[in-house]
């Protein structure tokens, strides 16, 4: 009877425990960035409820906050944590520090918190800080070697996200190459990522492109709305939306650098619902249109005109409006949800429903009683 009971408990533990799968797992095509530069957003445990209710499984955060990592424990949500830019020089110069960081912020939370990746810095290259750019590859290698020592290199993927500032030109897509002052840092980084099977991660914002060039860009082209689009004479391809063109521009830059087979993944894209006077396109209607049409485009599970067989995957920016972000007003208004969990605009998600703790307790008691009855019957 005792051995049978233990077998049952082991089965229940195995059945309900999260299982980590192969490196780079991205369920479906839709993910979201969970930024927390705000003083009025819900607690991490409520955020988990919101994500599960919206059926968003792929989530990125910009650090490795333990409160968040603990809240995601046992949820089945796949999480990418961030190593902030301020840590890069230290991690690049000291392998022991990288090892300690991975132990404290990744290994200690696995496997119950499904940490699927580590983003090494954010938009480092093309930013003008040569020391930081020079530290990026060393930090990535040391963090990867730390994962390898813990036998986690096949579970946790190393990436870094780039802005479009790394490109010399991206119009038309076939003309895109990396900037001369970026190549010296980019090429060895790409060689390393190619060896370990990591994608090229791009933060792509048609919103910003349109905002900076409103007279030259058709807003319908930026919003996935019906338009003539653009024609690229070199590749003989036509683009009916700007995001696809931005992605194929990245593919062309990679091909020019010798990495034709590397996948491009979108780590940030979105549209602001409010902005300053010089950001007139930042409206709730345009934000709703962009995010609704983007969601439909991702649901088709198709590639781009240049890479039709590489299904596009994207993390949307962002989950919440973040009222403490510096910069222009648009920076604080990219959220799909308001701080109270209600939707900013309707793209098919529901507002956060109330979740009674007594209800949870009742379910837990029922489960315990059921298990006890089963044990007695054995």
State the alpha helices, DSSP H only, in 17-94.
Answer: 44-54, 66-71, 88-93
CA distances from 125 to 18, 163, 371 (A): 36, 8, 55
Contacts of 351 (CB under 8 A, 6+ apart): 337, 341, 342, 343
User: Catalytic residue among 263, 268, 279, 322, which?
Assistant: 268
CB-CB contact of 187 with 196 (8 Å): no
DSSP letters spanning 185-242: HHHHHHHHHHHHTPPEEEE--HHHHHHH-TTTS-HHHHTT-S---EEETTTTEEESSH
Which pair of structure tokens corresponds to residue 284? 């709730």
Residue 234 exposed, middle or buried by CB count within 10 Å (0-12, 13-18, 19+) = exposed
Active site residue 123: yes
Q: Check 123, 153, 154, 255 and give the catalytic one.
A: 123
Cβ contacts of 355-363, under 8 Å, gap ≥ 24: 355/46, 355/49
CA dihedral 187, 193, 195, 199 (to 10 degrees): -120
Give dist(CA 234, CA 253) in Å, integer: 14
Residues that are catalytic:
123, 268
């Amino acid at each position: 009877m005792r051995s049978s009971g233990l077998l049952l408990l082991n089965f229940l533990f195995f059945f309900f425990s999260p299982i980590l799968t192969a490196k780079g797992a991205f369920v479906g095509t839709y993910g979201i960035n969970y930024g927390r530069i705000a003083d009025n957003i819900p607690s991490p445990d409520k955020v988990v409820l919101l994500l599960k209710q919206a059926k968003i499984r792929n989530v990125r955060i910009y650090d490795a906050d333990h409160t968040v990592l603990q809240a995601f424990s046992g949820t089945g949500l796949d999480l990418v944590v961030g190593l902030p830019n301020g840590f890069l020089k230290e991690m690049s110069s000291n392998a022991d520090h990288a090892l300690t960081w991975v132990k404290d912020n990744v290994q200690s939370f696995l496997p119950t918190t499904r940490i699927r990746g580590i983003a090494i810095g954010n938009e480092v290259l093309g930013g003008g800080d040569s020391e930081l750019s020079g530290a990026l590859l060393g930090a990535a290698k040391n963090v990867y070697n730390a994962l390898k020592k813990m036998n986690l290199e096949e579970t946790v993927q190393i990436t870094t996200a780039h802005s479009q500032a790394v490109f010399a030109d991206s119009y038309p897509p076939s003309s895109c190459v990396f900037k001369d002052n970026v190549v010296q840092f980019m090429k060895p980084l790409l060689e390393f990522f190619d060896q370990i099977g990591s994608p090229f991660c791009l933060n792509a914002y048609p919103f910003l492109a349109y905002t900076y060039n409103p007279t030259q860009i058709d807003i319908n082209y930026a919003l996935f709305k019906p338009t003539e689009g653009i024609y690229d004479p070199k590749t003989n391809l036509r683009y009916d939306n700007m995001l696809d063109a931005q992605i194929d521009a990245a593919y062309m830059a990679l091909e020019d650098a010798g990495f034709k087979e590397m996948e491009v993944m979108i780590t940030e894209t979105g549209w602001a619902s409010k902005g300053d006077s010089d950001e007139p396109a930042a409206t709730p209607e345009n934000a709703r249109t962009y995010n609704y049409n983007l969601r439909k485009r991702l649901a088709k599970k198709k590639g781009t005109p240049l890479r039709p067989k590489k299904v596009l995957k994207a993390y949307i920016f962002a989950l919440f409006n973040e009222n403490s972000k510096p910069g222009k007003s648009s920076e604080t208004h990219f959220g799909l949800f308001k701080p109270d969990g209600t939707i900013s605009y309707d793209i098919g998600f529901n507002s956060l429903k109330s979740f009674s703790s007594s209800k949870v307790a009742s379910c837990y008691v029922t489960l315990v009683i059921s298990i006890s009855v089963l044990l007695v019957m054995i």
